[in-house]
DNA sequence: TGTACATCAGTGAACGCGCGTTCACTGATGTAC
DNA sequence: TGTACATCAGTGAACGCGCGTTCACTGATGTAC
């Protein structure tokens, strides 16, 4: 039953992608190897032909999941380089949407697995660190581009804003998800408030800073 | 071996507190009933004299853990009502400290277990919703008090700021923890940037809003 | 190009282990008289 | 206030189950000649 090298590689990536969806939905500890391999369409014994351990899989899943989203984000932001980016506003709006809140499996790996990462080994945290640095670079570039002059030549300011933005996004989605079933109104409010805070702030630009939010 | 009612209640609370520390450190799925009862100084069979199931325990742990911190925060903020609160600034500074990052077991339940909460049942999410509402009320009151006039009589503004603040705090600590072992510099940077962003913003008050951050 | 053999991605049974939960039992506390 | 009995927080063995991992085996692919 030996397969083509291409076919084997494809199967391997399919296992990683399937694991990504399951881990984000049910947590790392909430998904067994047997569950995973069955969901991917295989028997569980074959898992160890691809990965030396579950932990190694988790590290690959985190890296792959974060990179896929980063590529998408970079592309969306690059497509409208130069003009005052509405792509960033769209990204923020989608990240803080109820659709993203409900779509754990297909959503951002940070918002789903960041607190699992704290309890994982160095290998997994390395994947997270790489994915986060990558996303910060993309966001930083996006902040630097359109406002290069107006920022007053302080190069670190864009990175500061990127780090702060990512923190808000991840925290808001996590809190919204933590109360989604028990208190949907509060969950909606958390998303809405942060959406307006971040997008209103952007719209008002550097003029008045934090001001009235309707 | 029947115990005094008071002694039994004390043992029960001791199990809840021990579970709080273990759950925050290793996650809900990372701690077994046997581990927990052993850590609390009992044999595992007695667990079901106190709780109908592990899920019920998790709900009580979340409620108790969040409320304990809320009481402490409320007290700290109430102690200096009227004057321009430095207690809030101190809370923010401690929340975003490396000490808090490293002290998962004794730290904030939201920062440790919020993403586990998303995968738990309605009972557990109810505890989180209650604890979050409580903390938001405390923070909202703190925002309203000193600046009552200057806010221009918009009552929801304080709550908006409270929700946004909590989102930043939780997101920042989670991200910092996710990369702590693999990239300590990035982890420190995430905490530092958000500390300066929040505290700088407060210091500058409603004057200039987001401005220069050193 | 054709043949012989090593490789390896699959299968499915099995391993030991720890999980959440249940059970019969103990004996001091709480309660009814 | 004293006696008799029900209650229940403990103990520790046991339940079935699913976990991560290992294993012998299969057979088409990849490779050496």
CB contact under 8 A, A111 and B115: yes
CB contact under 8 A, A179 and B104: no
Q: Decide: CB of B39 under 7 A of nucleic strand C.
A: no
Q: What is the mean pLDDT of residues B23-37?
A: 98
| CB-CB neighbors (< 8 A) of A170 in chain B | 171, 174-175
- A110–B contact, CB cutoff 8 A: yes
pLDDT digits (tens, 9 = 90+) for B166-192: 999 999 999 999 999 999 999 999 999
- B199–A contact, CB cutoff 8 A: no
Secondary structure of B68-99 as H, E, C letters: HHHHHHHHHHHCCCCCCCCHHHHHHHHHCCHH
pLDDT digits (tens, 9 = 90+) for A33-88: 999 999 999 999 999 999 999 999 999 999 999 999 999 999 999 877 555 568 99
| CB-CB neighbors (< 8 A) of A200 in chain B | none
In 3D space, the residue among B11, B136, B118, B124 whose CA is nearest the CA of residue B60 turns out to be B124
Do residues B101 and B173 lie in contact, with contact meaning Cβ atoms separated by under 8 Å? Answer: yes
Which residue among A175, A179, A209 places its CB closest to the CB of B167?
A: A175
Q: What is the mean pLDDT of residues A169-179?
A: 98
CB contact under 8 A, A121 and B181: yes
Residue A177 CA, nucleotide D19 C1', distance (Å): 28
Q: Is the pLDDT of residue A214 over 50?
A: no
Question: Distance between CA B60 and CA B11 in Å, rounded?
Answer: 14
pLDDT digits (tens, 9 = 90+) for B56-89: 999 999 999 999 999 999 999 987 755 556 899 9
The number of C-beta contacts closer than 8 angstroms across A and B is 190
The sign of the torsion formed by the CA atoms of A39, A45, A51, A56 equals positive
- Average model confidence (pLDDT) across chain B: 90
CB contact under 8 A, A181 and B212: no
Q: Cα torsion at B144, B146, B148, B152 (round to 10°)?
A: -100
Residue A54 CA, nucleotide D14 C1', distance (Å): 31
Question: Distance between CA B203 and CA A27 in Å, rounded?
Answer: 40
Min distance A63 CA to chain B CA atoms (Å) = 13
| Chain-centroid distance, C-alpha B128 | 10
Helices (H), chain A: 5-26, 33-40, 47-50, 54-78, 87-95, 98-102, 109-117, 122-144, 156-178, 184-203, 205-208
Nearest protein residue to the C1' atom of D14, measured from CA = B45
* CB atoms inside a 10 Å sphere around CB A69: 18
Q: Decide: CB of A8 under 7 A of nucleic strand C.
A: yes
Name the 3-class secondary structure at B147: coil
Query: Which nucleotide is nearest to A41 if distance is taken from CA to C1'?
Result: C10
* Contact partners, residue A14, CB within 8 Å, separation at least 6: A40, A41
Question: Distance between CA B179 and CA A114 in Å, rounded?
Answer: 9
How large is the angle between the packed helices B122-144 and A156-178, nearest 10 degrees?
130
Tell me how far CA of residue A171 lies from CA of A79, A110, B2, B103, B174, in angstroms: 28, 10, 46, 19, 8
Question: Distance between CA B130 and CA A154 in Å, rounded?
Answer: 42
* CB proximity under 8 Å: B 114-153 to A: 114-119, 121-122, 125-126, 128-129, 132-133
How large is the angle between the packed helices A122-144 and A87-95, nearest 10 degrees?
140
* Contact partners, residue B14, CB within 8 Å, separation at least 6: B40, B41
Counted residue by residue, chain A has a size of 214
pTM of the predicted model, to two decimals? 0.91
Do residues A125 and B123 lie in contact, with contact meaning Cβ atoms separated by under 8 Å? Answer: no
In 3D space, the residue among B92, B116, B3 whose CA is nearest the CA of residue B50 turns out to be B3
Residue A5 CA, nucleotide D31 C1', distance (Å): 14
Q: Decide: CB of A32 under 7 A of nucleic strand C.
A: no
Min distance A5 CA to chain B CA atoms (Å) = 33
Residue A8 CA, nucleotide D29 C1', distance (Å): 11
Do residues B105 and B170 lie in contact, with contact meaning Cβ atoms separated by under 8 Å? Answer: no
Give pLDDT, residue A154: 59
Lowest mean pLDDT among A80-94, A100-114, B21-35, B145-159: B145-159
Lowest mean pLDDT among A158-167, B149-158, B175-184: B149-158
Residue B181 CA, nucleotide D19 C1', distance (Å): 27
Closest residue on chain B to A115 (Cα)? B174
Name the 3-class secondary structure at A213: coil
The percent of residues in chain A predicted with pLDDT above 90, rounded, is 81
Nearest protein residue to the C1' atom of C23, measured from CA = B45
Give the DSSP letter string of B94-139.
Answer: HHTSHHHHH-TTTS-HHHHHHHHHTTS-HHHHHHHHHHHHHHHHHH
């Amino acid at each position: 039953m030996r397969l083509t090298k291409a076919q084997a590689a494809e199967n391997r990536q399919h296992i990683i992608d399937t694991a990504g969806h399951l881990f984000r939905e049910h947590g790392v500890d909430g998904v067994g190897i047997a569950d995973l391999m069955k969901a991917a369409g295989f028997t569980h014994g074959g898992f160890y032909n691809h990965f030396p351990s579950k932990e190694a899989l988790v590290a690959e899943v985190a890296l792959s999941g974060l990179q896929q989203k980063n590529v998408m984000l970079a592309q969306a932001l690059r497509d409208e380089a130069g003009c005052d980016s509405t792509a960033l506003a769209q990204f923020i709006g989608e990240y803080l949407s109820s659709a993203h809140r409900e779509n754990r499996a297909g959503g951002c790996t940070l918002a789903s697995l960041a607190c699992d990462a704290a309890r994982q080994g160095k290998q997994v945290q390395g994947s997270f660190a790489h994915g986060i640095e990558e996303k910060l670079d993309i966001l930083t570039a996006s902040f630097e581009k359109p406002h290069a002059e107006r920022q007053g030549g302080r190069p670190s300011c864009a990175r500061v804003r990127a780090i702060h933005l990512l923190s808000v996004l991840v925290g808001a989605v996590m809190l919204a998800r933590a109360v989604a079933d028990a208190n949907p109104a509060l969950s909606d409010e958390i998303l809405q408030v942060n959406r307006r805070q971040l997008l209103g702030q952007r719209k008002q630009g550097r003029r008045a800073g934090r001001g009235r939010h309707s």
